[in-house]
Amino acid sequence: MPRYYFTVRASEGDAGIHAAELNDDAAALAYACEIAREVMQSCGSTDRSLQVNDETRPMVLSIPFLAACT
């Protein structure tokens, strides 16, 4: 199972990295949306994004927090 890394990006710099072993890119997207919702609840800001990469690719996907709310 591939390991994915989730980096919260904000204008003031990166706010942390989460790692998880997930089945595929679709599962990584769902997990990224969960992380975005949790961070937004704690800080209330939608002016952030989440970058996802794995062990073989520099970037699998990137989503703005606002898109994770829909």
Residue 50 to residue 34: CA distance in whole angstroms = 11
How many domains is the chain built from? 1
For 6-54, what is each residue's pLDDT tens digit?
A: 998 876 666 678 899 999 999 999 999 888 888 877 776 667 788 999 9
Per-residue confidence (pLDDT) for residue 6, from 0 to 100: 94
Residue 8 to residue 66: CA distance in whole angstroms = 13
The two structure tokens encoding residue 50: 């989440």
Residue (of 42, 40, 43, 5) closest to 22 by Cα position: 5
Per-residue confidence (pLDDT) for residue 13, from 0 to 100: 65
Neighbours of 67 (CB within 10 A): 13
Per-residue confidence (pLDDT) for residue 38, from 0 to 100: 83
The answer to pTM > 0.75 is: yes
Per-residue confidence (pLDDT) for residue 44, from 0 to 100: 63
Range of the domain at 10: 3-68
Q: Is the Cβ–Cβ distance between 35 and 18 less than 8 Å? A: yes
